[in-house]
Amino acid sequence: MASDDKATTEKVNDTNQAGRHIKKVQAEHPIVNTKAKLSPYFTIAAAAFGLVSDGYQNSLMTMGNVVFKTLYPKEYTPAVSTRVSNALLVGAIIGQITVGLICDRIGRKAALVLTTLLIVIGATIGTAAHGAHGSVTGLFWCLTFARGITGVGVGGEYPASSTSASEAANEKMIKHRGPVFIMVTNFVLSFGGPLAVSTFLIVLSAAGENHLQAVWRICFGVGVLLPLTVFYFRMRMLSSDLYRKGAIKRRVPYGLTIRRYWRSLIGTCGAWFLYDFVTFPNGVFSGTIISSVIKNGNIKSTAEWQLLLGAIALPGVFVGAFLCNKLGRRNTMMLGFSGFLVIGLIIGLSYDRIIKIIPLFVIFYGLMQSFGNLGPGDMLGLVSAESFATPVRGTCYGLSAAIGKTGAALGTQAFTPIQNNLGKRWTFIIAALCGISGILVTYFFVPDMTGIDLAEEDAAFMRYLAENGWEGEVGEDDDRALVSDSGEKPISMTEEGESDPGHLVV
């Protein structure tokens, strides 16, 4: 015991000496301090620019479905349309789980760089997609493959960008963490929809409806450029303070994590599943829905109504950002699900009459999506980033988002059969049923972390691990500490009592 106490004392003394050395290095190298101070702001901005490319990719098939149906009316069957659209979702599910693990086990930066590369590669293949010997079937299989790769990157962006943004916002602006997080995540994701349609309209106006092949390829090509805008900044970013101090890279206690967070996981996974089950197919097939409502309208007219639909849906993001601190995360999310319930029933029960007044139909359709943005669209990413401790934040966030995308895939798969067998009104009635289910799941299972410092949950999680007998290292490089089953505070440590100032820059 005496030798253990002596060893512990030596480690603490070494740590104190290392800490003094770090301060001396920082004083001699002010550029390190400057980078550290600016890094959270760059991380937040990079998350916004990265996620706007996700929103663009999510909405790319909205008008793509209309174009392909026009170009290949026989070959682009509902089954092919669903397969191409679902490829992004299947890839996203893989990306969210895989990259969520990478976020925690390797680091936020590695995850962000990987997702950017995957989006660029997938979008490039999609832009150049062709079938062997001009085969149309081959073209759509190539697009399916390309959209799958893109989906892995797009899905990975969710845990990678969102965990980084939430930790950076917590570091610099705890009181405003919620609104800032929403504006750099759900706002830019939602803005990606109107951006994709606007890009389509600009290209279509320039090329004309007789050159639809060029139109869709150019639109896909723009999706290659967007993620490249943040690649340099992601290569230069630093890890957040929370991650440097709280990362667990070996012997991750997944069993204890589930025991502690099972209720929160039911809430975030369940609510995300219901939200995406409604929202994603309605987004992907909204162009098809509108084109069927306006009957003989051309592609440009469909795109213009689609742009109006996307514009109406955007204000909900701002309302949700405004309310998230005032009402709390949970209440705001239930308010959004209530919009699904009320407006879904209004459209569904009066469908045959409301579609005869196209502007009214589009306004109500847009309001339903706006309520979705206001509530679960804004809050799900936020509560998933706030409800779990830093060492497992990426993993739990990625799992929640993956379950959500599973709902999106199932919703997309079921959308056409529901329309064909039950009638188009039932897509909105089912949205209403998902709304009331979302209210119940949110009320009983989603925690409300409004205004709470994320570091508090990290400290509580470490105490929980120690009390349950877990032992291991926590933190990165100079911030590493030991957690023992004694229940005492973690003991700070460094390797061999030395500190490498280069570790300050990731």
pLDDT of residue 458: 92
pLDDT band at 172 (very low <50, low <70, confident <90, very high): confident
The CA-based dihedral angle spanning residues 450, 454, 456, 458, taken in that order and rounded to the nearest 10 degrees: 140
pLDDT of residue 126: 92
Place of tokens 């909105």: 428
pLDDT in tens, 45-63: 888 878 888 888 888 887 7
pLDDT of residue 451: 82
43 has a pLDDT exceeding 90 = no
74 has a pLDDT exceeding 60 = yes
pLDDT of residue 124: 94
Tokens standing for residue 278: 């409604």
The CA-based dihedral angle spanning residues 50, 113, 478, 33, taken in that order and rounded to the nearest 10 degrees: -50
Q: Average pLDDT in the 77-97 region? A: 88
Tokens standing for residue 490: 């973690």
Q: Which residue has the higher pLDDT, 368 or 286?
A: 368
pLDDT of residue 29: 45
pLDDT of residue 277: 92
pLDDT of residue 133: 83
Other C-beta atoms lying within 10 Å of the C-beta of residue 431: 27
Contacts of 176 (CB under 8 A, 6+ apart): 169, 325
Q: Average pLDDT in the 338-346 region? A: 93
pLDDT of residue 173: 81
Q: Cα separation of 378 and 56, whole Å?
A: 17
| 295 conformational bin, left if phi > 0, alpha if psi -120 to 50, beta if neither | left
pLDDT of residue 287: 61
pLDDT in tens, 2-37: 454 444 444 434 444 544 444 444 444 444 456 667
Q: Which CATH architecture has domain 30-241+250-467?
A: Up-down Bundle (1.20)
- Alpha helix locations (H) across 208-253? 212-236, 241-246
Tokens standing for residue 470: 């877990």
pLDDT above 70 as % of the chain: 84
Range with top average pLDDT, 26-40, 294-308, 440-454, 474-488: 440-454
Q: Cα separation of 267 and 380, whole Å?
A: 9
pLDDT band at 98 (very low <50, low <70, confident <90, very high): very high
Other C-beta atoms lying within 10 Å of the C-beta of residue 460: 12
pLDDT above 90 as % of the chain: 37
Q: Cα separation of 271 and 292, whole Å?
A: 30
pLDDT of residue 181: 92
Range with the lowest mean pLDDT among 144-153, 208-217, 279-288, 433-442? Answer: 279-288
pLDDT in tens, 227-281: 887 877 777 777 788 888 888 988 889 999 999 999 999 999 999 999 999 887 7
pLDDT in tens, 179-229: 999 998 888 888 888 888 888 889 988 888 888 899 999 999 998 888 887
Contacts of 50 (CB under 8 A, 6+ apart): 112, 115, 116, 157, 160, 161, 227, 230, 234
pLDDT of residue 267: 96
pLDDT of residue 263: 95
Q: Cα separation of 148 and 100, whole Å?
A: 18
Q: Which residue has the higher pLDDT, 355 or 404?
A: 404
pLDDT of residue 475: 80
pLDDT of residue 292: 64
pLDDT band at 443 (very low <50, low <70, confident <90, very high): very high
Q: Cα separation of 243 and 170, whole Å?
A: 12
Q: Cα separation of 288 and 303, whole Å?
A: 10
What is the DSSP code (8-state) at residue 474? Answer: E
pLDDT of residue 482: 57
Q: Average pLDDT in the 282-298 region? A: 64
70 has a pLDDT exceeding 50 = yes
pLDDT in tens, 476-487: 765 556 565 544
pLDDT band at 461 (very low <50, low <70, confident <90, very high): very high
pLDDT of residue 288: 61
pLDDT of residue 33: 59
pLDDT of residue 293: 63
Q: How many CA atoms lie within 13 A of 467 on its CB side?
A: 8
Q: Average pLDDT in the 396-416 region? A: 88
